[in-house]
Amino acid sequence: MKLLIIFTYLLTTCFSYALEKPDIKNLIIIKNPKMYKDVIFKDVNQKDLNLADFKGKLLILNFWATWCAPCREEMPSLDALQSNSNFNNLKIFPINIGQEDVSKSEYFFNELNIQNLNIYFDSPITLAKKFSLRGVPTTILFNKEGKEFARIIGSIDFKNKEFINWLKLYN
**So what's the pLDDT on residue 115?**
98
Whether 6 maps to a domain, the answer reads: no
Order of strands, sheet of 120-121, starting from the edge strand that comes earlier in the sequence: 27-35, 147-153, 138-142, 58-64, 90-96, 120-121, 40-43, 48-50
9 within a domain of the structure (yes/no): no
Residue 103, domain member (yes or no): yes
In the predicted structure, residue 142 carries a pLDDT above the cut 90: yes
Helix (H, G, I), strand (E, B) or coil at 75: helix
Weakest mean pLDDT among 8-12, 86-90, 167-171: 8-12
Residues 6+ apart with CB under 8 A from 154: 26, 70, 135, 137, 138
Flag whether 154 is in a domain.
Answer: yes
- Residue 11: inside a domain, yes or no? no
For residue 125, being part of any structural domain is answered with yes
Host domain of residue 159: 25-168
Checking if the pLDDT of 85 tops 60, the result is: yes
pTM of this prediction exceeds 0.95: no
In a domain, 136, yes or no: yes
As a residue count, the chain comes to 171
| CATH number of the domain to which 43 belongs | 3.40.30.10
pLDDT tens per residue across span 27-66: 999 999 999 999 999 999 999 999 999 999 999 999 999 9
Give residue 16's pLDDT.
42
Residue 35 lies in a domain: yes
20: pLDDT strictly greater than 70: no
Domain tally for the chain? 1
What is the per-residue pLDDT for 123?
77
